[in-house]
Amino acid sequence: MKMLINVPETVVADALRGMAAAHPELTVDVENRVVLRRDAPVAGKVALVSGGGSGHEPLHGGFVGPGMLDAACPGEVFTSPVPDQMVRAATGVDSGEGVLFIVKNYTGDVLNFDMAAELAEEEGVRVAKVLVDDDVAVTDSTFTAGRRGTGATLFVEKIAGAAAQAGAPLDRVEALARQVNASSRSFGVALSPCSTPAKGGPTFELPEGELELGVGIHGEPGRERRAMMTAGEIADVALDAVLEDLNPKNPVLLLVNGMGATPLLELYGFHAEVQRVLTERGVSVARALVGNYVTSLDMAGASVTLCQTDEELLRLWDEPVRTPGLRWGL
Amino acid sequence: MKMLINVPETVVADALRGMAAAHPELTVDVENRVVLRRDAPVAGKVALVSGGGSGHEPLHGGFVGPGMLDAACPGEVFTSPVPDQMVRAATGVDSGEGVLFIVKNYTGDVLNFDMAAELAEEEGVRVAKVLVDDDVAVTDSTFTAGRRGTGATLFVEKIAGAAAQAGAPLDRVEALARQVNASSRSFGVALSPCSTPAKGGPTFELPEGELELGVGIHGEPGRERRAMMTAGEIADVALDAVLEDLNPKNPVLLLVNGMGATPLLELYGFHAEVQRVLTERGVSVARALVGNYVTSLDMAGASVTLCQTDEELLRLWDEPVRTPGLRWGL
């Protein structure tokens, strides 16, 4: 498996150096592996910190900036960052208004963010935490107790980020983040496995002519394998799974997310099928986002995330944001 | 080769339906295959039209919007659009101030845009044309007489688009587009082939352990094949080729562009190596853009484009833009 890298050992550090050079509006601490808003801490503002294993870019470092995260902690590929990184991020961005940790539900991340919260509080930082667990495909998988955290992370970071930017206090930002997570569900499919630099090849096998329904963002097994399906059939299965668990009465935010190697041309075509199914089910789409946002290295495939909105969530979604990976109005 | 599609015959139409649903700020004419600014024609403004084969998304449809293109014409995958599309685009966006056709140098595109220019002028539209031919890898390749047009297309569309948005007349917008092209050079590498829906598999063979230096954006052969190299070695070879042909005295715009399937993590790492080489060569980088902008379906690999700036080009680059694929300040 060929990769555009130097050696597997320096992949994350190399990427952070490249990120620093591309984004002067960020402070990228390559040695300590923390990405921060250059203007952090922002006086009077609750700060948002997230992080997780690398390999899902632009998540999370690419979502640091005004209107979204204050800092992100990248771990090794598909490996949780360590508590030291999270404490450094928290103390680096806390203005005194407190910090919200946004944690995808994987065992390592949960343990490490828990420990970091204790350590940061010992240093005088008020910390709240929200767990993202939107993936309906499986519970209690390889890396997770309960449901996995995937695409809804983007919705949580954007909407809680907008509330924090507007001056909401920590308990309100936390409550909104919980509401967004509780209102969101995701389902993903893989057409090909992903390859990690450390392994130098695919992390799982997926025979030609089959796809994995309900795959996780590290290539974790999903619900089942089937013979290859059309984009329309995949949209039906994905939304069956999502809508079995979420019955949106209000218009939804829709994320049609590429896993990494699926061309945008295919992703837009898949989005058309997702819209068809939602129309058939009577689900109204308030806003749609199509692209590669929560990726799995070079995996081919896509995921669908819905978030039931209300007036406030929609208003916060529309607020300006300026990050490398998501930007409008600034 | 698995793809997230319905059937190969409807891939482009399906993608346009999905694009229409994602971007209410655009008018997507699925039947006639034209993507336009919803507010076109914009009174008093020179209009920019581009287009080419599909499979390079977000180029060109994803670059339609204020500050960039007024319309784009998507052809079938890796196939030129037809003159009818271009004439429809030109007449749909012309405010009376004239239209600039931005044409990548591939034989089919050149012939069809030439014919479209004649037809549009018969309908009373003043048309100017600029040919983009920035790829230093080869001359007179499979699809092209002269050099191929690749990454510089983004620079031409952005900078000419900003000038048009600011009210520059047609001859000035055309002159700026020519200046940007003449000041730009690109070089690309492939780590894997791309697969077209029609073929259902790779368009060329690239053995495990080898890469293609100087590949075109349709998988056209480059300069040579070599045993796999590190990101640093690839950056050296790519910039050797570019800087042999361009000797920038002023700071450059830098595009580190993914071909489609290369993870953003790798692309940022490659960008760090490109910055290292430019520093060694004494080339100053004014602005850097890293991401998937001029893609080749699911090809793994990357390209590097430099554009020598002056004060005016840099100012126009920094002007606001609001398109699905490139956005800041609006």
Chain A hits for B234, Cβ within 8 Å:
4
Measured CA to CA, the distance from residue B210 to residue B221 in angstroms comes to: 13
Q: What is the pLDDT of residue A143?
A: 77
- What does the pLDDT look like over A16-44, one tens digit per residue? 999 999 999 999 999 999 999 999 999 99
Between CA B110 and CA B81 the distance in angstroms is 10
Instruction: Please report the domains of chain A, with CATH numbers, ordered by start residue.
Output: 9-183 (3.40.50.10440), 184-317 (3.30.1180.20)
What confidence category does residue A162 fall into, taking pLDDT thresholds of 50, 70 and 90? very high
CB contact under 8 A, A298 and B300: yes
Instruction: Look at residue B43 in the predicted model and tell me its pLDDT.
Output: 98
What's the confidence (pLDDT) of residue B141?
A: 75
Strand partners, B103: B131
Chain A to chain B Cβ contacts (< 8 Å): 199
Q: Would residue B60 show up in a list of annotated catalytic residues for this protein?
A: no
Q: Secondary structure of B72-138 in the HEC alphabet? A: EEEEEECCCCCHHHHHHHHHHHCCCCCEEEEEECCHHHHHHHHHHHHHHHHCCCCEEEEEECCEEEE
The pLDDT assigned to A240 comes to 98
The pLDDT value recorded for residue A297 is 98
Looking at residue A99, its pLDDT comes to 98
pLDDT at A278: 98
| Closest A-chain CA to B286 | A22
Alpha carbon distance B275, A134 (integer Å): 39
Which pLDDT score is estimated for B144? 82
- Nearest chain A CA: its distance from B270 CA (Å): 7
Task: Give residue B226's pLDDT.
Answer: 97
What is the rounded average pLDDT of the residues A113-135? 98
- Number of residues in chain A: 330
Contact A191 B3 (CB under 8 A): yes
Contact (CB<8Å) A22/B230: no
Average pLDDT, chain A: 97
Q: How far apart are CA A211 and CA B2, in angstroms?
A: 9
Partners of A17 on chain B (C-beta within 8 Å) are: 268-269, 272, 275
B137-152 confidence digits (pLDDT tens): 988 877 788 999 999 9
Question: Tokens 């997702």 identify what position?
Answer: A274
pLDDT along chain B (330 residues), means of 10: 96 98 98 98 98 98 98 98 98 98 97 98 98 93 87 98 98 98 98 96 93 95 95 98 96 98 98 98 98 98 98 98 94
- Residue B187 is predicted with a pLDDT of 98
Per-residue three-class SS string for A132-185: ECCEEEEECCCCCCCEECCCHHHHHHHHHHHHHHCCCCHHHHHHHHHHHHHCEE
Mean pLDDT of A295-310: 98
Report residue A330's pLDDT band, with 50, 70 and 90 as the boundaries. confident
A141: pLDDT strictly greater than 80? no
Tell me whether residue A218 is one of the annotated catalytic residues: yes
How far does B247 lie from chain A, in Å, by closest CA? 22
pTM above 0.95, yes or no: yes
